[in-house]
Each structure stands twice: as C-alpha cells, then as structure tokens.
C-alpha cells in the first residue's frame, strides 16, 4: 500500500545522489581551465558525448566558464536541497505508515487473544511491544529506508566516478589498491560488532518490558502500596531495574558508536596515502591534477556513506531483535476461535445445558463432569469454597475458555458451532471486580450498547440504583470517572457495572459475586 510513496522517495534519492556526483565533477574544469589555465585533457576511449562536452568547455573563455560554473553550482545545490527534503519527508511518511500498521496489527492481535494468553503475560511487557518496540522499529525503518538506500546510491555514484577516472586517466595501481583497502576492514568490524549489538538490543527490550510492568503494577496497586508503606521498596526496585536498562543501553551505544570513528580513521589514513602517492604522480607529471582531485574527492566522499551504512547495519541488528518480539505476537493464535462454517446462534428459547463438562488449566483439573440445565426464567446460584471453579464455570458459557471435554448447548446447538458475536450478544456480565474505563458515566454504562438513548441509560441506572448518586456528580452523566473508575467508591463502581449489563438487556445475565 505504500509502494508509490516509496518509489517517489527512491527517485528523489537517485536525483540528489546524481547531483552530488555532478557537483564533484565540476572540480575538473575549475582545477584545469580556471586555476591551471589549461584545457581539460581528453583521454583515449572517452565516450563521444563526453568528448563533445569537454571540447565545448575547453572552448569557453575563462571568465565565461567561471560565471557558468558559479551559476551551475548554485542551481545544483538548490535542486539537491529540494530533493533531499522530499526524500526525507516521503521516507518518514512511509516508515510512520508502516509503524502505524504494525501497531494496529498488534492491537488487533491483543484483543483477539483468549483470556489464557493474558493469564500468562505481563501487561507492561505487552504495552512495551506496542509503544517501545514499534518506536524502535520506526527509527530503524527511517534510517534503513533513508540512509541505507540513499547512502548506497551515493556510494555507487562515487564508485562510478572513481572507476571512470581510473579507466580514462592514468591512476597508478598503488593508489587504487590503497583506496580499496578500506572495504574488507570495515566489513569485518561491522559484522563482528553487529552480533553483539543484536544481543544487547534484545536484552534492552526485555528490561524495558520489565520496567513497564513495574510501573503498571505500582500505579494499579497504588492504594495497597501506600497502605503498607512500600514506597521505599518499590522505588528501590524501580531504580534497580532502571539502572540495568541504562547499563545495557550504554553498552549497546558504545559498540554502535565506536564503529563510525574507526571507519573514519581508516578511511582518512587511506586517503592520506592516496594523496601522497597521487601528489607524487602529479609532481612527476604522471597523473592529471584535475582528474586526481576528482578521484580523491570521490574517495573522501565515500567515507560518509561507509560510516552511515556501518551504523545502519548495527541499528538493523537491534531492530531485528525488535521484529522477533513483534512476530512472536503475530505468530500466536487465540485458543478460542470460530469454526469456518460457524452460524449465528438463535436467541435462547428453551435451555442452556452443560453436558459432562471438564476443564483443565495447565495440568490442574478445575472442573470435572459438570452437568447442568438452565431454563428461561431460572435464577441459579452457584456456590462453593474459594478456588472451587465458580468463575471458571461462568467463563465457559461466553467462551472465554473452551471446555477440555464435554459440550455446552443453547437450545440444542453446541456453542462452538455458532459465531462468537451471536453467542456473546445474548450474555450480560458483571465481573467480581467492576471494570470501568477512563470515560464519562454515560460512555461506561452504554459501552455494550453505544446507540442507546439518554432515557434508556437513565432507566438502566435507576434499575441499578445508581441514578441518584450520578446526578449529584459535578457533570452528572457527563462526568469523567477516572481510570478504572478511581473517582468512585467500590459500591458505586459495582452499580455502574450492573447498569451496563441491564442496559444491554440480554437473555442471559451472569453476576459473578456482584
């Protein structure tokens, strides 16, 4: 879906790279015609169109040539600036779109998972994948798409210039060998350091996930934290984990940033040797001065792409560990799914029946041989000691979990044969711990029926005995109740949850210790 934008960015990169090479090529007439007061040397084998261009340049008076070169340089750098801006803007657009799509996909996967996934996962780590990991991915994409492609094109342009000068001018093989000496050393350094950076990147992401979990748990349990005066202990725990993130991050940064200066030092050392041997050739009359300046300029210009590409490789090593964590989520599937040929379940008219239902969680048997039939109008109380499986039994009906054995039928239809929506549309639930969102009273009560009218919401709240305290709030039904309903008492939260279930008006109402 982002191909056209990417192609446009790629075109801008090619144009700006060619303009960079063109600005470098102007050194020849400046060095020979203007400063050297001689015509540009036309070597044997030069293509005809280049011969014609060089002949034309040689025919121009020095002042005329200087004026035209000055205007041309201004135009080149003006156009180069425009295309550099466009390529950066378009590439950032592509990387942000991809990151947005990845976040959407992650969130879609999260809400599709069954409850067993969340019972085994840390909330902070899940949030970290959506925020921190995708942020790392965006940075890597931007650098990879911008610098990797752009610097590769620039490197290719400068390499063509170097090869062209070597082909048509007498550049000694000693100079050529020294100029190529940089490549294998850089490749060795980048590959060796990259392996370690990838491992450190994965460690950083794991530690950030643990840090997010600590923050989430502390804020969620702030009342207990304060009630037991645990602020010093939690602060010490957070600081310890935070210091570990800092320590590993600095190790990764040290290895990532050390490559650039090394590449630059090796490159400059090679350039100095090239300058010495080339300068010697110029003094002896073996090398054309203008051609050598272009050769040296192209060689020095290759340093920046080399440094950028080596850095990109290390960043991509970090990003690869991010992608592993993201694809761990993409590759998971919910344990509770619809059949391909699932049909809409009819509204309950006769009964709900549990037939020899068993449920096992990991290796523990929670429910065994449950047989139960509930008819319309029945009010059933399920009692038992703590941990007996009451909530688990209730969670099987809306298919939050599936039985290990046995079946659950509605009017003779196995609920596994129906769509999840047609099943859950018939069920209203009030959980043990009321679940409310950081929104208004009206939005929370109408959550299961967004198109409900104000009168319907008020009627449901009256039935749940919460209308009176709602109208006393500062903005009535438009009052924000805070995250998880923190501005309400426990009883008020429970009544709002009951009102939400009543408003849905489901055929089946489940009250879990409500």
The C-alpha atoms of residue 5 and residue 509 are separated, in whole angstroms, by 51
Residue among 462, 442, 458 nearest 450 (CA): 442
Judged by DSSP in three states, 147 sits in helix
Residue among 504, 507, 513, 510 nearest 463 (CA): 504
The C-alpha atoms of residue 15 and residue 282 are separated, in whole angstroms, by 33
Tokens at residue 238, please? 């957070």
509 bridge partner residues: 428
Q: Which residues are within 8 A (CB) of 114 and not within 5 positions of it... i.e. 6 or more apart? A: 334, 335, 336, 400, 401
Per-residue confidence (pLDDT) for residue 258, from 0 to 100: 74
**Where are the extended beta strands (E) located within 231-389?**
352-361, 364-374
What burial letters (b/e) apply to 303-338, b meaning 16+ CB within 10 Å? bbbbbbbbbbbbbbbbbebbbebbeebeeeeeebeb
Tokens at residue 9, please? 């960015």
Residue among 89, 134, 105, 98 nearest 3 (CA): 98
The C-alpha atoms of residue 29 and residue 54 are separated, in whole angstroms, by 9
What residue ranges define each of the domains in the chain, with the CATH number in brackets? 3-330 (1.20.1560.10), 352-511 (3.40.50.300)
φ, ψ of residue 64 to 5 degrees: the values are -65, -45
The pairing of strands 413-414 and 427-430 is: unpaired
What are the residue ranges of helices labelled H in 26-122? 27-29, 48-59, 62-112, 115-119
What are the residue ranges of helices labelled H in 356-447? 390-396, 420-424, 441-445
Residue-wise pLDDT for 442-483, tens only, equals: 999 998 888 889 899 999 999 989 999 999 988 898 989 887
Do residues 352 and 374 make contact, with C-beta atoms less than 8 angstroms apart?
Answer: yes
The C-alpha atoms of residue 321 and residue 330 are separated, in whole angstroms, by 14
Do residues 410 and 348 make contact, with C-beta atoms less than 8 angstroms apart?
Answer: yes
Do residues 94 and 16 make contact, with C-beta atoms less than 8 angstroms apart?
Answer: no
The pairing of strands 352-361 and 364-374 is: antiparallel
DSSP 484: G
φ, ψ of residue 343 to 5 degrees: the values are -115, 160
The C-alpha atoms of residue 63 and residue 65 are separated, in whole angstroms, by 5
DSSP 383: -
The C-alpha atoms of residue 79 and residue 314 are separated, in whole angstroms, by 32
The C-alpha atoms of residue 90 and residue 254 are separated, in whole angstroms, by 31
To which H or E segment does residue 509 belong? strand 508-511
Low-confidence stretches of the chain (pLDDT beneath 70) = 1, 24-54, 56-58, 167-172, 176, 179-183, 186-187, 190, 194, 290, 313, 318, 514
Do residues 87 and 306 make contact, with C-beta atoms less than 8 angstroms apart?
Answer: no
Do residues 429 and 423 make contact, with C-beta atoms less than 8 angstroms apart?
Answer: no
The C-alpha atoms of residue 193 and residue 252 are separated, in whole angstroms, by 10
DSSP 42: -
Residue among 126, 133, 132 nearest 107 (CA): 126
Per-residue confidence (pLDDT) for residue 186, from 0 to 100: 67
Angle at 36 between CA 30 and CA 42, to 5 degrees: 75
The C-alpha atoms of residue 420 and residue 411 are separated, in whole angstroms, by 16
């Amino acid at each position: 879906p982002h191909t056209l934008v990417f192609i446009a960015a790629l075109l801008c990169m090619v144009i700006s790279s060619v303009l960079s090479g063109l600005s470098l090529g102007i050194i020849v007439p400046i060095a020979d015609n203007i400063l050297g007061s001689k015509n540009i040397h036309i070597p044997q084998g030069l293509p005809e169109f280049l011969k014609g261009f060089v002949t034309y340049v040689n025919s121009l008076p020095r002042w005329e040539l200087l004026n035209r070169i000055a205007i041309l340089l201004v135009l080149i750098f003006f156009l180069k600036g425009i295309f550099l801006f466009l390529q950066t803007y378009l590439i950032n657009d592509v990387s942000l779109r991809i990151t947005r799509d990845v976040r959407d996909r992650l969130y879609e996967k999260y809400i599709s998972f069954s409850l067993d996934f969340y019972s085994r996962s840390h909330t902070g780590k899940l949030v970290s994948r959506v925020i921190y990991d995708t942020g790392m991915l965006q940075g890597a994409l931007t650098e990879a798409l911008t610098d990797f492609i752009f610097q590769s094109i620039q490197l290719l342009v400068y390499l063509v210039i170097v090869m062209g000068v070597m082909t048509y001018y007498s550049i000694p093989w000693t100079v050529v060998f020294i100029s190529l000496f940089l490549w294998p050393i850089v490749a060795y350094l980048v590959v060796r350091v990259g392996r370690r950076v990838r491992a450190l990147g994965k460690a950083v992401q794991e530690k950030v996930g643990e840090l997010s979990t600590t923050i989430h748990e502390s804020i969620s349990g702030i009342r207990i934290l304060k009630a037991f005066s645990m602020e010093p202990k939690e602060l010490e725990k957070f600081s310890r984990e935070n210091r570990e993130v800092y320590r590993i991050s600095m190790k990764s940064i040290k290895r990532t940033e050390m490559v650039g200066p090394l590449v630059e030092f090796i490159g400059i050392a090679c350039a100095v040797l090239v300058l010495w041997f080339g300068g010697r050739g110029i003094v002896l009359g073996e090398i054309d001065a203008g051609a050598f300046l272009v050769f040296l300029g192209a060689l020095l210009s290759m340093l920046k792409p080399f440094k950028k590409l080596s850095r990109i490789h290390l960043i991509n090593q970090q990003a690869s560990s991010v992608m592993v964590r993201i694809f761990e989520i993409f590759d998971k599937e919910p344990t509770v799914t619809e059949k391909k040929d699932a049909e809409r379940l009819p509204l309950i008219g006769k009964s709900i029946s549990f037939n020899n239902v068993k449920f096992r969680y990991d290796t523990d048997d929670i429910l065994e041989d449950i047989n139960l039939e509930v008819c319309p109008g029945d009010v059933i109380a399920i009692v038992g000691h703590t941990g007996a499986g009451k909530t688990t039994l209730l969670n099987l009906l809306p298919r939050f979990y599936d039985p290990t054995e046995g079946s659950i039928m509605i009017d003779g239809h196995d609920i596994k044969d129906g769509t999840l929506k047609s099943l859950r549309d018939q069920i209203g639930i009030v959980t043990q711990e009321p679940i409310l969102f950081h929104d208004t009273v009206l939005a929370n009560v109408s959550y299961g029926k967004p198109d409900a009218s104000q009168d319907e919401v008020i009627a449901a709240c009256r039935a749940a005995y919460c209308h009176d305290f709602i109208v006393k709030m500062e903005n009535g039904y438009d009052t924000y109740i805070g995250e998880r309903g923190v501005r309400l008492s426990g009883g008020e939260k429970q009544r709002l949850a009951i009102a939400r279930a009543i408003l849905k008006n489901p055929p089946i109402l489940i009250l879990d210790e409500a």
